C-alpha cells in the first residue's frame, strides 16, 4: 500500500493569502495544499491536508490518523503551539511521527512565540521557510519512516 501523510493546519491558517501577508506570504491555503500534495506525489507518498480552527478537532485528527491509514503527520498547530497542553498530550499519545512546522520563524518574532509546548513531544520542528517548511516536513516524515523501518523497535 502507498504511504500516506496527514498535513494538519491549525487555527487561522484558513486565512492564508490575506492574513498578514508580510509574515505568511500571499499563497492561499488551497494553493499551499496543492503544492504540498504535488511534492508528496513526486516522492511516492500520498498527502491529505486538513485545517481546523478547533483544538478538539485537531486532537481527533491526531488520535484517528493511524486508523485512517496515515503513517506520519506534518503539523502546524498555529497559535496552539504556544499553549495547548491537550494537543501536546495528543502528539505524545500517538505512535506516529509528528513533525511540527511553521511558515514564519517563530524564534524571530514576539517572545511568546519562541516557546512551543508541542516541540518536546514532536519528532522535530521546522520554522521560518514558508511553503518550504511543509516540504521539509514531508521529507523529515519520510526520513522518520525510513529509519523506523530500519529499527522496528523504535517508538517514533
Ligand atoms: C504559525 C506561527 C504561530 O505563532 C502563529 O500563531 C500562527 C502561524 C506559523 O506557521 O508561522 O498562526 O504557526
82 tagged catalytic:
no
Class of the domain covering 4-150 = alpha beta
Q: How far is the CA of 102 from the centre of ligand 1 (A)?
A: 6
Q: CB count, 10 Å around CB of 46?
A: 14
CA 115 to ligand 1 center in whole angstroms: 12
Q: Answer yes or no: 107 catalytic.
A: no
pLDDT digits (tens, 9 = 90+) for 120-144: 999 999 999 999 999 999 999 999 9
Model confidence pLDDT, tens digit, residues 103-120: 999 999 999 999 999 999
Count the Cβ atoms, other than its own, within 10 Å of residue 65.
24
Domain definitions of the chain by residue range: 4-150
According to DSSP, the β-strands at 72-76 and 46-51 are: unpaired
Amino acid at each position: 500500500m502507498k504511504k500516506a501523510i496527514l498535513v494538519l493546519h491549525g487555527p487561522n491558517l484558513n486565512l492564508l493569502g490575506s492574513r498578514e501577508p508580510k509574515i505568511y506570504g500571499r499563497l492561499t491555503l488551497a494553493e499551499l495544499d496543492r503544492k504540498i500534495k504535488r511534492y508528496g506525489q513526486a516522492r511516492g507518498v500520498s498527502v491529505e491536508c486538513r485545517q481546523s480552527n478547533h483544538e478538539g478537532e485537531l486532537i481527533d485528527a491526531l488520535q484517528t490518523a493511524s486508523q485512517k491509514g496515515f503513517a506520519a503527520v506534518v503539523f502546524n498547530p498555529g497559535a496552539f503551539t504556544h499553549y495547548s497542553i491537550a494537543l501536546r498530550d495528543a502528539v505524545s499519545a500517538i505512535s506516529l511521527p509528528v513533525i511540527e512546522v511553521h511558515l514564519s520563524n517563530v524564534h524571530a518574532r514576539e517572545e511568546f512565540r519562541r516557546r512551543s509546548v508541542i516541540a518536546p513531544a514532536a519528532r522535530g520542528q521546522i520554522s521560518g521557510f514558508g511553503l518550504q517548511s511543509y516540504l521539509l516536513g514531508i521529507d523529515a516524515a519520510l526520513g522518520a519512516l525510513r529509519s523506523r523501518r530500519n529499527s522496528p523497535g523504535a517508538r517514533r
